[in-house]
Structure 1
């Protein structure tokens, strides 16, 4: 009796509701998978990705512009610094002495120019005096000519003596000579003014050269202090107190904390619809799960192989086609905390939405 009950249709129907949740869950999973697949087909087909991508930045290798002993290293490796902060100081005593000499040369040149200016003023007064002498001499010549004419007439009519006529004639000749001398003096004074003008031009040139040397000496004195050109992090510090640094020697490197980018090397068959302005997404192993956004800035005008030291030569021998990659520059966006996780040289994965 009990076996008949166990095999009855009523017992079978009682077990059916237990299978319904299983089938329902399967249907839901299938629907979700279908939705995901449709979404991936609709949007994923426009996403181009590559893991051949690296973080880049304007890493600056700072060098000394002058030579000297290192007297101070104000920072340590991996230290964050601000723009304008002192990094390294060189012995500035020789450069301060050179600046003092240059300043003295400027003062001497200024004094020489001031002296010539005074001479120019004095010479102008001499010229005015010479012109006055000419006027006086011309008046004496006019008077002497009148006296000579009058005494000659008196002598010819026996109304005056011959001696008086001769004296008047001699006085007239002396006055003429004095007038000529005054004119010669004026020409000489004017010529001297031209000489002074030439000397002034030379003095002004000397002053300009001295001032340029002073500026150069001041710059050299400033160059003994190496300061951060931008905010960043110190790295590759090669300077040590007491070491001699020659001009042009790399002493320290500075890595920027902002303005980073990614150079992503996409395959040539991924570039058909890629252009500047498209959105990009970056993921890095240094911060798993963190998505960093960016914008495509530019595409390289040639593949990486073209810019290599030894470009491939495919004109001879057997040829095997190799898919080429083209560097794409992606500017990173986001807050400073997120971008601060990245370091130039890190490898990342870059994805670009080409829709």
Structure 2
């Protein structure tokens, strides 16, 4: 076979091969499939419905829900510290124990304070005896005063009689009917009566002075009794302070005291956490608190209770942002200024049951969501007040 015949066979083979894009069946478009088309339509309608539902929920509810995760559980804990010095003789509680108000916590050695109390009580007894003695002295001086006044009355009567005798015998002595000696005797008796009268009056004055002095001593003794009683009360308080009791109910934490340890007045021994009075401090941005009011409901999600939603309500809003109460408040009137969104602490009451409170402790992280729909008209009222104030300013001459 010649080479020319081979070339013809190769050309015929190439001519019989299909060209690119020719001879193959074209695949139909998926959109022409009715099942796919209706599936896409249904999905589109479902997306539109979901968007409308979301939009309606956002307009009616969602935009009034203010959420923050800058929130932590807190409690007004009470530190247990003695007011007296001494060695610890007994500790009645264990770590993390539940205590009731008035329950004994620990005992400090009270021997020294018991001796001081007995000494103060003895001083009271001495002062009471001083009062009895001073009162008796005053009563005696008053009796002497009464006796002196009686002597004054008697001396006055004798003096009056002596003066009358002198006056009666004076004409007789002048006419010579009475002797000179008798007249001198009458004058002598009158002078003696006058001296007795003066002496009696002096005794009355002395008795009055003694009564005043006795009453002063009585008042001094009474004042000493009050001071001694105050010392007893102070010693009694110190004696009672050696027995520390729980001021509130709660759980114990940060317990560091041990038997035999010496405690100084004011030294912290343990802390009582009132877990039944837990509250939440949520730091909301200033752009979130425009509609927040006391009493609004709050949803609370605690990280320690995954999947559990607790309830609460707003108790109060801080009168200032957190930066205003910082140790070094910002000074925005100097240097360059960069606006930073401030946060406002909001106190929220936690309405949790007994089971949840077994887990909740101060310091836990929380996500809080406040429902502010109850104040949704507040912005309109605020704007109306501003417009009225502006109108009044324009009406002023």
Q: Normalised by the size of structure 1, how large is the TM-score?
A: 0.88
Shift of residue 29 of structure 1? Answer: 8.8
Equivalent in the alignment of 1:333: 351
Shift of residue 130 of structure 1? Answer: 1.0
Equivalent in the alignment of 2:146: 128
Q: Does 1:109 align with 2:127?
A: yes
Give the Cα separation in 2 of the matches to 1:21 and 1:324: 49
Find the structure with the greater CA-based Rg: 2
Give the Cα separation in 2 of the matches to 1:102 and 1:329: 49
Give the Cα separation in 2 of the matches to 1:167 and 1:297: 105
Give the Cα separation in 2 of the matches to 1:128 and 1:337: 83
What SS does the corresponding residue of 2:325 show, helix, strand or coil? coil
Give the Cα separation in 1 of the matches to 2:274 and 2:86: 27
Equivalent in the alignment of 2:323: 305
Shift of residue 284 of structure 1? Answer: 0.3
Shift of residue 32 of structure 1? Answer: 6.6
What SS does the corresponding residue of 2:273 show, helix, strand or coil? strand
Q: Normalised by the size of structure 2, how large is the TM-score?
A: 0.79
Give the Cα separation in 1 of the matches to 2:232 and 2:56: 74
Q: Does 1:272 align with 2:287?
A: no
Shift of residue 354 of structure 1? Answer: 0.8
Note the alpha carbon deviations across 1:158-180, whole angstroms, 9 max, x for none: 43332222111101100001001
Equivalent in the alignment of 1:53: 71
CA RMSD of aligned residues (A): 2.5
Q: 2:251 aligns with which of 219, 230, 233?
A: 233
Shift of residue 155 of structure 1? Answer: 3.1
Equivalent in the alignment of 2:225: 207
What SS does the corresponding residue of 1:332 show, helix, strand or coil? strand
What SS does the corresponding residue of 2:277 show, helix, strand or coil? coil
Q: 2:304 aligns with which of 286, 292, 295?
A: 286
Shift of residue 26 of structure 1? Answer: 9.4
Equivalent in the alignment of 2:16: none
Equivalent in the alignment of 2:173: 155
* Residues matched between the structures, number: 339
Shift of residue 31 of structure 1? Answer: 5.3
Note the alpha carbon deviations across 1:39-96, whole angstroms, 9 max, x for none: 3442111110100001111111111100000111111110001100011110001001
Q: Which runs of 4+ in 1 moved over 6 A?
A: 19-30
